[in-house]
Every structure is written in C-alpha cells, then in structure tokens.
Chains A and B, each alone.
Chain A
C-alpha cells in the first residue's frame, strides 16, 4: 500500500515516475484518438491493425541486420511496424470493397494472417546469429517497466501531435462518423477522413507498441471511448473524457504494478481501464444501468399512481399490490383502502385531466398533440391555459365525483 501511494505521488524513484507519466500520456492519446474509431463503428479495425504490426517489426529487423545495422534500432522497427499495419488496414478495406466478405471476416483474416506471418519472421530471427537476443517478443506484450527517458519523450511528442490532429479534425470526423452520406453531400472527402481516423489510430498503435504491446494497445484504443460514451452525448466532450479515462488508467495502473512484484504493467493498465468502464456502465448519470433502472422505477410509479387515482375516481376496486402501495405511501388512501381527503382531491383532478385529454385527442386527432398523450403527463404541461379553458368549455360544467 505504501509503495502504491509512493508510486501514485511519483516518489517511488525516477524510473517509476517516468513510467507513470509516460503511461498516462499514452493513455490520453490512445483514448482521444480511439474515440472516432469507436464512433465510426470500427473499433475492431484497431485489433487488425495492431496485429499487423508484428511482421513489420520482424521485417525491419531482418532488413536492418542485412544492411549491417544493429537491428534493434527503435525508429527502424517502428517504421516497419507502421508500414505493415498500414498495409493491413488497406487489405481490410480492399476485401470489404471488392469481395462479398463482410468487414468482420476481413478484420479477422488480416489479424490472424499477419500475426502468423509475424510469428514466422520471429522464428527466422531467432535463428539468425544477430538475432539471438533480439527481444522482439517484448513487442507482443510490451515492456512498460523498461521505459527510457527518450521513450517517454517520444510518447509525449507523438501523443501530443496525435491529439492535436484529432482536435483539429474533430468536425469532419464527427460528421463522417454519424452520417457519412450527409458528410459526402456537404463536400467532405469521406475516404480522406476515414484514412485520417485510421492514420491516427495507426500512429497511437506504433507509439504504444513498445509500452503495452500489440495485443493490449487495442484495449487502450477501444475501452476509454466506450467509457466516455456513457458520460456524454457530445463527440468533442467524448475526446476529452476518453483521454482522461485512458490517462487515469495508465497512471493508476503503473502505480499498482509498481506496488508489488509480478504485476505486469500492461495488463494492469488494461484492467484498470476496464474497471473504469464497468463503473461508468453501472453508475453513469444518464446512460448508466443504475440511472436507467431508477428511471424505469419512477415511470412505473407514476403510471401506477395515475391508474390508481383514476380507479379511485371511478370507484373501481383496486387489486394491484403495487398500485395500492404507491397510493398508500403517497398518503392518498388509508390502510383499509378508503381514499383520504387528499386522495379524493387528486383523484378528481386525475379524472378531469383524463377527460380533458380525451377531448384533446378527439379535437386534434390528426396532429402531434394527440400523440403527446402517454397517460401520465398532466395536460398543463402540454397545453396553454387558454387552450385548457377552451377544452373545459367544451367539456361542460364539472361533475361531482361521488366517492
């Protein structure tokens, strides 16, 4: 616990502070850039893309060694990974547009085949004399703890650029995500915007590859936007919320993993990210499960209250247990089911409201007015006082409720 707090306060040593900041930056960039991938309903393209980086890493290593280089040059490896990942995305696009195969099949085929090819290349490298201790496997699961200062700077600069691009292109990307046809009609080049979205995701994947590995970077691209979706209806707000969710996951995740041995950083970050998502799914104010349940309960109560009042007014017996309990709790009936003074008053009002509505629905049968009747909303919320007076004139004098 102490070590966790130390790590959280960046006082657990230079290296863990560096890793925490780096992971937080990466989380922010991944969340922000993944947002439009999610809104475009292509979240899993990032999965294909991440897996397609592996052969690029292998090929880059082989090429660099063949030209007498070190083979472990990070820039070269990342360049290679970007090339094959880009190729993978193009292949997905080609399969979807040129064959009858659906997008999910294209994504699955590309991710598994490119990954298989990557595995083949890794075994080739293992047999090369220069490749005995290449450590390229660390790209599979990442090696967060081994982050160097220059890696952190690389993430910071690259991530900031990617976020800046996301922000700059947010309008066209939002438009294309929600209504591609409309975007095309208003003069946007949909294909170009799609390529920009993919390009951003590609950049994040390459940047994050060394940190959390190709399998887990997918999580950082997908989960924060899903988390953010629960909290807002606005695309621009989603960028920031997703970024915040990603960076909190990165930061807390590294702190947790620094607090005990054998807690690999990448998976912990992903699990923290998933936990945030779960909390949002359950407790988000409008779209959360709890909020929805509460809303349903309130609506149910209103319906039962209204129907109960109408039954009272019409002197019909009430048998439904929930109706009885709702009425009793509102102090409208006594324990033995006899309406109280307040109950009679409200019943009369409900009956009048119902009669007014019936009149409205007859008068405005062909307009939206009639459609706004849901059996719960009081008529005062829909019509003006003058309109109600007119309805009342047509209804005639009030009749006494004989309860």
Chain B
C-alpha cells in the first residue's frame, strides 16, 4: 500500500464506494415500493438533462448539470404519470415509452452540439471513466494531511461525498415517514404523511444521487447500484434497519471488489491491461445478488416455503 496506491487508486476507490452507497440507499426504498425501474428511467434521462444544461450554460460544470439532470428526472416522472393516466397505459410500457424517447432526444442533442474538446460523449456517459479520476497531488499517505494536496482532490470525490452525506442525512431525517409510507401507503396517508410529496422527494433524491454518480462513473454502474445491493439485501433480512445495513455493506463490497478486480484481476490472469472498473463493479454486484438469490436466508416469499 505505497504511494502509488494513494495517487492512482485511493480516489477512484473512494468515489466508487460513495457513488455506490449514494445510489443504493434510495434504491432500497424504490425497490420496496416496486419502483425499481424508475432508477432505470432516471439513469437514462440524466443524459438529455446533462446535455440540455450544457447547452444552456455552455460549460461542463457540476452543479448546472445536476440541476439539469434533476429537472430531466422530474420531467420524466411527470411524463410517465401523464402517459399512464391520460392514455390508460400500464406503468412498465409508459416508462419504456418515456425514457427511450428522452434518451433518444439526448443522443440527438449530443450529436447536434459540438462536443469536440468537451468531455461529453455517449460512450463516456454509458461506461464512465472511474479509472481516470486519479489524485496526482497525493504523492504519499502524508498528503492526506497536506492542505495543498487535498485542494487538488478530484472534484468528483468532493461532490460525491457531499451528495452521499446528503442522502444519508435525508434517509435518517425522513426515516419514519419513509418506512410507514413504503409499507402501507394508505395508512401513511391517514396519519397525515404527504405520500405523494414524499415519493416525489425520493425520486428527486435518487436523481441527485444518479447524476453525481453518473458524472463520475457512468450510467451502467448507477442502475446496477440502485437495484442490485438493495435486492441482495432484501434476500438477507426481513427488517428494514438490517436491510439497509446489508445494502450499504453490499454496495461497498461491490465497489471495492469490483475496482480491485478491474485493476488487478487481468494482471493476475496474465493480462497486461485493466478492464472497465464501472462495468466490473456492476458485475460484482450482480454476482453478490446471484449468491444471495441462491443462499440468502430470506430468499423465498414468506409463506411459500411453508406451503411447498
């Protein structure tokens, strides 16, 4: 664990972990509410959101992009709701219509705008570039206490840290209403919890997490982190509190293991190049889900095991 680790691996690793946790926490509630695929829709509509905000501001800056993508998520949710209600179309198809159309719009805008010299392209958006978020100023472990070096940490790390803290704080602050509304929406409404506002807030939080992560690691990891760790956690425990801890643990494990496997795995197998870290993190989260689906203590539906 020498200086090279600090310089090249520490920040991507931390970014991976923070991104995973920030996405997995709202993902838990979306999953329990059977809205897991909202994260798929959000993941796809961040692209047009980011492009539009780039067109308005003309700069590739973080906060305008976040606002753009958040707005795109809101638009998407509103459109899905509109297609569902006005057209009397079931929610899966409504979602499919809206997010593919918006995504196509995003790709079109991206091709239309001159993106040469701007690090905005479809492939980057899909696959991310976690590996390149290195901390060149961090020459040594001692750099962690050196303000000059700390000032040169990748922006993505700082942003994701802020977003992650934000997501955790929201989860704690809204714990009771979230829990009640997730398990019994009708009851939540009768005790005066504004459930629609709450679920909109959840989607918005998910969108913010998605954008922060998307910017750093690409859309493929975002959707995987929204769904896989919470799904695996769901197969581990029946209690929401424990569930959430498992989620965080699985998200962290996916990030660390995925990053390490992507960076060093090929070397161990005799290859000479690393592979996509974001893709590997998604893959590892899938393997974890597969293992819990095979061996998790709460993997079957309650009552069904007793019946068969």
Binding site for B on A (CB under 8 A): 38, 41-44, 46-47, 95, 98-102, 104-105, 107-109, 111-120, 122-124, 127, 137, 140-141, 215-216, 218-219, 222-223, 225-226, 229-230, 262-264, 266-268, 270-271, 273-274, 277, 281, 287, 289
**Partner among B108, B278, B289 whose Cβ is within 8 Å of the Cβ of A271:** B108
Given A113-B286, A226-B97, A270-B100, does the pair A100, B36 have CB atoms closer than 8 Å? no
Given A127-B272, A281-B86, does the pair A219, B299 have CB atoms closer than 8 Å? no
Say whether B285 faces chain A, with CB atoms less than 8 Å apart.
Answer: yes
Contact yes or no, A109 B40, CB < 8 A: no
Contact yes or no, A270 B293, CB < 8 A: no
**Partner among A98, A215, A222 whose Cβ is within 8 Å of the Cβ of B97:** A222
Residues 32-47 of chain B: 1 if any A CB is under 8 Å from the residue's CB, otherwise 0?
0011110110001000
Residues of A within 8 A of B40 (CB): 44, 47, 107-108, 111-112
Given A104-B37, A270-B101, does the pair A116, B122 have CB atoms closer than 8 Å? no
Contact yes or no, A101 B231, CB < 8 A: yes
Selected A-B contacts with CB under 8 Å, 22 pairs: A44-B40, A44-B96, A99-B299, A100-B299, A100-B300, A104-B35, A105-B36, A107-B37, A108-B37, A108-B223, A109-B227, A112-B228, A113-B285, A116-B224, A116-B283, A120-B279, A123-B127, A124-B266, A124-B275, A219-B96, A219-B97, A270-B104
Say whether B163 faces chain A, with CB atoms less than 8 Å apart.
Answer: no
Contact yes or no, A120 B283, CB < 8 A: yes
Say whether B137 faces chain A, with CB atoms less than 8 Å apart.
Answer: no
Contact yes or no, B36 A108, CB < 8 A: yes
User: A291 vs B103: C-alpha distance in the bound complex, in angstroms?
Assistant: 30
Contact yes or no, A274 B282, CB < 8 A: no
Contact yes or no, B101 A43, CB < 8 A: no
Look across to chain A and name the residue whose beta carbon is closest to the beta carbon of B286.
A113
Which one of B10-18, B57-65, B87-95 is at the interface? B87-95
Residues of B within 8 A of A113 (CB): 224, 228, 282-283, 285-286, 289
Contact yes or no, B273 A119, CB < 8 A: no
**Partner among A38, A118, A262 whose Cβ is within 8 Å of the Cβ of B279:** A118
Say whether B112 faces chain A, with CB atoms less than 8 Å apart.
Answer: yes
Residues of B within 8 A of A47 (CB): 40, 96
Look across to chain A and name the residue whose beta carbon is closest to the beta carbon of B93.
A43
Look across to chain B and name the residue whose beta carbon is closest to the beta carbon of A37.
B93
Residues of A within 8 A of B93 (CB): 38, 41, 43-44, 222, 225-226
User: Looking at chain B, what size class is its interface with the partner chain?
Assistant: 35 or more
Contact yes or no, A277 B97, CB < 8 A: yes
Residues of A within 8 A of B83 (CB): 226, 281
Given A115-B282, A119-B126, A271-B105, does the pair A127, B273 have CB atoms closer than 8 Å? yes
Residues of A within 8 A of B86 (CB): 281, 289
In whole Å, how far is B122's beta carbon from the nearest beta carbon of chain A? 6
The 8 A-B pairs at the shortest CB distance, nearest first, are namely A116-B282, A113-B286, A119-B279, A219-B100, A112-B224, A274-B101, A270-B104, A127-B273
Residues of B within 8 A of A262 (CB): 111-112
User: A348 vs B273: C-alpha distance in the bound complex, in angstroms?
Assistant: 91
Contact yes or no, B293 A98, CB < 8 A: yes
Residues 106-129 of chain B: 1 if any A CB is under 8 Å from the residue's CB, otherwise 0?
011001100000000011001100
Look across to chain A and name the residue whose beta carbon is closest to the beta carbon of B107.
A267
Contact yes or no, B122 A140, CB < 8 A: yes
User: A94 vs B10: C-alpha distance in the bound complex, in angstroms?
Assistant: 38
Q: A116-B281, A219-B100 are in contact. List 19 more A-B contacts (CB 8 A).
A: A100-B298, A100-B301, A101-B234, A102-B36, A112-B223, A112-B227, A115-B220, A116-B286, A119-B126, A119-B276, A119-B279, A120-B275, A122-B127, A124-B266, A127-B271, A226-B94, A229-B87, A271-B101, A281-B83
User: A262 vs B105: C-alpha distance in the bound complex, in angstroms?
Assistant: 13
Given A113-B285, A119-B126, A229-B89, does the pair A223, B100 have CB atoms closer than 8 Å? yes
User: A218 vs B289: C-alpha distance in the bound complex, in angstroms?
Assistant: 25
User: A262 vs B231: C-alpha distance in the bound complex, in angstroms?
Assistant: 41
Residues of B within 8 A of A225 (CB): 93
